[in-house]
Chains A and B, each alone.
Chain A
Amino acid sequence: MSLAAGEVYWAIVPYTPATPFKVHVADGTPVEVPSASQIVDGLRKGGDAEFEFVVRAKARPVLLLSGRSDPRTGDLFALRLLRLEKFSHQERQRVEEHREPTLFPLPPKRFPDLAEDSAAMVTAPIRLHETALDTRKSLGRLDRKEMRALVERFVSYWQFDLRQLLVAQIRELQHRRKAR
């Protein structure tokens, strides 16, 4: 399977679990639990016990933040998309003009198979298994410059501290340039 950063595919994506949690039981309707601590305490009381949770999911397009996938794990890293029709005219314009840093608009010309204008949600990264992706067809792809801009926004929003990495790479670059 060949995947590339910036590509969009349909995928099965669960909503992020939040309270109230629903615990599946084989002999009844799911048991609702109002807090995470109640579940933690209950499971710790039960030794190695585990529950099955009922989590709602839907098929939605996702943008691959990285093209990297290792067949040994099958893990993929992606961003959720949001349809721009959900916004007012002013809000939509704000997103389309790149004035909303947390929403990266996908240029429609590059996503001919994406039915509606959408934006990648910088605030909504998801880890997916490759089997949850419908890889029959990519719906489009951001180009390299757009991906760089998106990743920059992602790193800024999540406040990844890359200073050490940058300093090390600048030093290495200086070293290699001198050696040339």
Chain B
Amino acid sequence: MALHSSPIKSNDVRFPEPQPGEALVVERYSAEHVKAVILHPDDFAELQGDSELLDDLAAASDLSDLGVRAHRISESPEGELIDDEASVRRLLGL
């Protein structure tokens, strides 16, 4: 899943302006609890681009009609069902 953005109006929040290459880590209580990370728009664009690229690369190929047909063939019984005890034992040499 690619990284997506959720816009917030600048009037609704107060935060310092990050410099390019800098990540402002907003901590809650301690350094172990990170509430948010503020990035410069250029850095975010790069991160988002990388995320989309990786997402594209992970895209799986679809099952073709031939693949579906192969599946059906392999799941369809082909032969005669032997279910009488004498025939089963005879075939198995028991």
When the two chains form their complex, are residues A42 and B78 in contact, meaning their CB atoms are under 8 A apart?
Answer: no
For B56, B78, B88, the residue with the greatest tally of chain A CB atoms inside 10 Å of its CB is B88
Q: Which of A22-30, A76-84, A133-141 contacts B (4 or more CB under 8 A)?
A: A22-30
Residues of B within 8 A of A68 (CB): 60
When the two chains form their complex, are residues A72 and B57 in contact, meaning their CB atoms are under 8 A apart?
Answer: no
Determine the residue in chain A with the shortest Cβ distance to B62: A70
Name the interface size band of chain B.
20 to 34
When the two chains form their complex, are residues B71 and A31 in contact, meaning their CB atoms are under 8 A apart?
Answer: no
Tell me how many residues of A have a C-beta within 8 Å of chain B: 33
B63 at the A interface (CB under 8 A): yes
When the two chains form their complex, are residues B63 and A72 in contact, meaning their CB atoms are under 8 A apart?
Answer: yes
Q: A70-B63, A72-B68, A75-B71 are in contact. Are A31 and B79 (CB under 8 A)?
A: no
Using a CB–CB cutoff of 8 Å, the interface residues on chain B facing chain A are 1, 49, 53-54, 56-57, 60, 63, 68, 71-72, 77-85, 88-89, 91-94
Using a CB–CB cutoff of 8 Å, the interface residues on chain A facing chain B are 23-28, 31, 33, 38-39, 41-43, 45-52, 68, 70, 72-73, 75, 144, 169, 172-173, 176-177, 180
